[in-house]
């Protein structure tokens, strides 16, 4: 196991980061590559942050398990594989296997720190001045790290209503708690309509749990293009998710480990074994010492930064979810690397910064979603009547052999503007959309036009070719 430092090794560091997640790791290692003295302070007993431990990575592993279950249960007969028994997912055995892989990643993070010269300090970091970080170790002992530059990259945490707001809310778990579940819940109510709610509800439903999704509106993913919303919501219902629309949870009754009853403002009573809150996240800015030294927050509690990740205090910066923009792991990584380039990479990188426009993202729903750029509504608000839409709805070739009720929908949509038909938005849902999106995100970032898409020879037979043959 690489060393964990319990005291400073120098009078002053070039760079100290509070937070050892993806952003903190990327920024610290980039700084160390320039020969700088770097320390990372992480409060959790493992590195990697949300993404590695209770986010992207274990979530995608669970998605793969759910996807495989769907294929075994519903697709093999269409492809004339005989004698395959009905699949039964063993959650209790799978969890420790998944956790072992995550622990392996934790070790890789720590090994990378050691190899590249980044000090890993285990403890709670707190700003004690604009140039110092106080570290409180798990045993309560404290020490101080002095630094020329300090970056806050502590991330966020799931939001759960208080019991005052929703009586019994604390009987539920959050997305972090999902990964602590030792057994698969037979019945579950997921509260929320965002991508975390959609992904976890999809996993649970596909693995055989009776799944309820309580949403405030008529559709899931309300910040996404309306075509995505209108395609995924009915498909989730068709595939077995019980969606309770225009509903708010008013109370939860029962005892943990026993039957819980969810009451909605529509008079419904939903009996489940697990209640999972997925109503949003908030920044972990409490007790960081920000207010005392003048680091300003917005009304939501996010750290205010400029385009170069500077906070309102000189030589203190913030990257990742804690600054409230584009809450995605690759964004934190990219911003962190560019910040270190600018601070330590010399004249070549003097103005390096992350461009937050046209950042692609995917949703690991069933089927998957990929999106980049403006939604149709955003484009029409910005560009008016110069917006034109190209759209195609179809079934992927894979589903040609599958029974009708299990044929997943695919919809591809381009949003273009102006006489040159510059592509300002790509929104796709259907099998493989998560993989298809990465390449088309490059095209949008480069300012591609519809003609550029048309001039690209299709790869056949694929779903992706639809984006270069739309008419």
List, by residue number, the catalytic residues. Answer: 460
Distance CA 41, CA 9 (A): 14
Q: CA dihedral defined by 302, 308, 312, 318, rounded to 10 degrees? A: 40
Q: 210: number of CA atoms within 13 Å, CB side?
A: 7
Tell the residue number behind the tokens 């309770």, with chain if given: 244
Phi, psi angles (nearest 5°) of residue 23 = -65, -45
Q: Give, for 226, the enclosing helix (H) or strand (E).
A: helix 226-238
Q: Is the peptide bond before 407 cis (omega within 30 degrees of 0)?
A: no
Contact between residue 287 and residue 126 where contact means Cβ atoms under 8 Å apart = yes
Distance CA 375, CA 390 (A): 13
Pairing state between β 124-129 and 142-152: unpaired
Contact between residue 32 and residue 39 where contact means Cβ atoms under 8 Å apart = no
Contact between residue 392 and residue 381 where contact means Cβ atoms under 8 Å apart = no
Distance CA 30, CA 118 (A): 10
Measured in Å, how far apart are the chain's first and last C-alpha atoms?
57
């Amino acid at each position: 196991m690489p060393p964990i430092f319990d005291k400073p090794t120098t009078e002053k560091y070039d760079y100290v980061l509070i937070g050892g997640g993806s952003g903190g790791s990327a920024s610290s290692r980039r700084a160390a590559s320039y020969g700088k003295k770097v320390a990372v302070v992480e409060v959790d007993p493992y590195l990697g942050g949300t993404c590695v431990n209770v986010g992207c990575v274990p979530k995608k592993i669970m998605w793969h398990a759910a996807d495989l279950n769907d294929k075994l249960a519903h697709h093999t007969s269409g492809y004339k594989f005989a004698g395959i028994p009905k699949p039964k997912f063993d959650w209790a055995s799978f969890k420790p296997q998944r956790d072992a892989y995550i622990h392996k990643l934790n070790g890789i993070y720590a090994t990378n720190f050691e190899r590249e010269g980044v000090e890993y300090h285990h403890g709670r970091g707190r700003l004690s001045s604009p140039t110092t970080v106080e570290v409180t170790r798990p045993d309560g002992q404290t020490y101080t790290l002095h630094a020329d530059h300090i970056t806050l990259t502590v991330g966020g945490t799931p939001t759960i209503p208080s019991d005052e707001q929703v009586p019994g809310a604390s009987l539920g778990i959050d997305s972090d708690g999902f990964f602590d579940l030792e057994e698969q819940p037979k019945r579950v109510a997921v509260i929320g309509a965002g991508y975390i709610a959609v992904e976890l509800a999809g996993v649970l439903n596909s693995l055989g749990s009776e799944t309820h999704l309580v949403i405030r509106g008529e559709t899931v993913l309300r910040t996404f293009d309306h075509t995505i919303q209108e395609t995924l919501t009915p498909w989730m219902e068709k595939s077995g998710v019980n969606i309770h629309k225009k509903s708010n949870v008013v109370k939860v009754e029962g005892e943990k480990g026993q039957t819980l009853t969810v009451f909605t403002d529509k008079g419904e009573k939903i009996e489940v074994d697990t209640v999972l809150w997925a109503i949003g996240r908030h920044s972990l800015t409490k007790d960081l010492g920000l207010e005392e030294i003048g680091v300003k927050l917005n009304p939501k509690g996010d750290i205010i930064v400029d385009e170069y990740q500077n906070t309102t205090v000189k030589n203190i910066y913030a990257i990742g979810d804690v600054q409230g923009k584009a809450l995605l792991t690759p964004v934190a990584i990219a911003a962190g690397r560019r910040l270190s380039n600018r601070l330590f990479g010399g004249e070549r990188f003097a103005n390096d910064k992350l461009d937050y426009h046209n950042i692609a993202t995917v949703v690991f729903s069933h089927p998957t979603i990929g999106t980049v750029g403006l939604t149709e509504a955003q484009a029409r608000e910005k560009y008016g009547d110069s917006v034109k839409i190209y759209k195609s709805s179809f079934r992927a070739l894979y589903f040609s052999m599958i029974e009708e009720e299990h044929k997943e929908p695919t919809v591809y949509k381009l949003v273009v503007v102006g006489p040159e038909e510059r592509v300002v938005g790509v929104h796709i849902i259907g099998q493989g959309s998560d993989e298809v999106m990465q390449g088309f995100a490059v095209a949008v970032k480069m300012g591609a036009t519809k003609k550029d898409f048309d001039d690209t020879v299709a790869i056949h037979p694929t779903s992706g070719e639809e984006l270069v043959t739309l008419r």
